[in-house]
Amino acid sequence: MKIRIDNKLCQGLNRCRAVLPEVISGSDDGKSGVTGDGTVPPGLEDDAQDAVDGCPFKAISIVQD
């Protein structure tokens, strides 16, 4: 499972970073980005889904490996 963030949709609220800081980081423009290739560590799948569900701009998606 991997997280993807569409920077065109992201508005930089950073709610997702609070929910999944192991995978989602900040960038110089204030928007969120993924750490590494966006792989969600085992045991954090529910947090990944919470990050997706909590984004009001639908900028985050989950990609299955």
Domain map of the chain by residue range? Answer: 2-63
CA distance 6 to 58: 9
Q: Is the pLDDT of residue 13 over 90?
A: yes
Please say whether the beta carbons of 51 and 19 come within 8 A: yes
At 19-52, the pLDDT tens digits run: 999 999 988 888 999 999 999 999 999 999 999 9
Give me 48's structure tokens: 């990944």
pTM equals 0.91
Please say whether the beta carbons of 19 and 47 come within 8 A: yes
CATH class of segment(s) 2-63: alpha beta
pLDDT bin (cut points 50, 70, 90) of residue 65 is confident
